[in-house]
Amino acid sequence: MKIFAISDLHLSTTASKPMDVFGGNWVGYEKKIQDDWQSKVTEDDIVLIGGDISWAMKIDDAKEDLLSIAHLKGKKVLIKGNHDYWWSGIGKVRDILPENFYALQNDSIKFGNVVICGSRCWSTPGSPDFNEQDQKIYNRERERLLLSLKNARTLLNEGDKLIALVHYPPFNVRREDSFFTQLFEEYGVCAVVYGHLHGKDVRADKIVVKNGVKYYLTSCDQVDNKLTEITL
* Per-residue model confidence as pLDDT tens digits over 202-220: 778 899 999 999 999 999 9
Per-residue pLDDT, 27: 80
Per-residue pLDDT, 201: 73
Per-residue pLDDT, 15: 56
Q: Cβ neighbours of residue 156 under 8 Å, at least 6 residues apart?
A: 115, 162
Please say whether the beta carbons of 48 and 116 come within 8 A: yes
Per-residue pLDDT, 28: 83
Q: Cβ neighbours of residue 154 under 8 Å, at least 6 residues apart?
A: none
Strands (E), 58-206: 75-78, 101-103, 107-111, 114-119, 161-166, 191-194
Per-residue pLDDT, 18: 60
For the chain, list residues with pLDDT below 70: 14-24
Per-residue pLDDT, 17: 67
Question: How far is the first Cα of the chain from the last one, in angstroms, to the nearest whole number?
Answer: 12
Per-residue pLDDT, 21: 46
CA 70 → CA 36, 40, 101, 145, distances in Å?
15, 16, 8, 28
